[in-house]
Structure 1
Amino acid sequence: MTPREKRSGAYRDTALRPYVLTKGRARPSRNTIGIDTLLVAADPAPPLPVSAGRQERALLAMCRGLLSLVEAAARLKLPVSVVRVLASDLVDSGHLTARAGSPRAEQPSRELLQEVLNGLRAL
């Protein structure tokens, strides 16, 4: 790759970039972070280490307000799997807090469904 290509950002679409961003990991350190997980910066957030990358700094900055993992990935223009690893690292280091997304709606009981079906048949 030429220096000009590097300056223009042509390297962004290579397979090497996600590998480098996640330090070679394909999976997050915790499996509790899903696409609907809500991320928020810790208050007060400890300072990021000097080794933190641009993406980690951007993720932390955008999580000053509540933000879902998938929305953060869209704003960073990165794959969700990469942002999941980055977010997991920031949660582990105490920079971010992860909250479960909205709970799934409770399924109606079998009895209620049977009553509705009986009512519809009676019409």
Structure 2
Amino acid sequence: MSPAAGRLDEGAGPLVRPYTMTGGRTRPAVGAGLDMISIVVAARERVDWGELQPEHARILRRCRTPVSVAELSAQLDIPLTVVKVLVGDLVAAGDVAARAPAPAADHPEAHVLQAVLDGIRRL
């Protein structure tokens, strides 16, 4: 084996093309509402880890605590579009739950919070 071939084999891991991780899919089958700030968390304890693709397993391990799709992409060094497809697979299998963060309009206004705080102080 030539020295050049050895170097190519050592670095083969990062040369995996994103479409091989998703089977050529570019969009999630489920979870079309996923975006980069969607929060993902494991929905159940997985016992049959051997049935998962390595990338699915890596994502599921990171989702033991809530994490955004963008954070998963950065932490696992997988393109965002690929992470969306893989998370969609895990949502479809019931392994993770994903939701968009609450919009700012759903949060109480500052004057309402101040009124509640003032009421508590009077107690």
Normalised by the length of structure 1, the TM-score is: 0.72
Match 1:7 to one of 1, 10, 18: 10
Q: 1:91 to 1:63 in 2, by over 3 A?
A: same
Q: Using the alignment, how far apart are the partners of 2:65 and 2:104 within structure 1? A: 23
Q: 1:104 to 1:6 in 2, by over 3 A?
A: farther
Residues 29 and 88, structure 1, Cα contact 8 Å, conserved in 2? yes
Q: 1:103 to 1:7 in 2, by over 3 A?
A: same
Unaligned runs of 5+ in 2: 107-123
Unaligned runs of 5+ in 1: 107-123
> What is the letter of the counterpart of residue 74 of structure 2?
A
Aligned pairs, number: 102
Q: 1:5 to 1:93 in 2, by over 3 A?
A: same
Q: Using the alignment, how far apart are the partners of 1:101 and 1:49 within structure 2? A: 32
Other-structure match for 1:119: none
Report the RMSD for the aligned CA atoms in angstroms: 2.2
Identity %: 32
Q: Using the alignment, how far apart are the partners of 1:23 and 1:6 within structure 2? A: 23
Normalised by the length of structure 2, the TM-score is: 0.72
Post-superposition, which runs of at least 4 consecutive aligned residues in structure 1 deviate over 4 A?
A: none
Other-structure match for 1:22: 22
Q: 1:49 to 1:94 in 2, by over 3 A?
A: farther
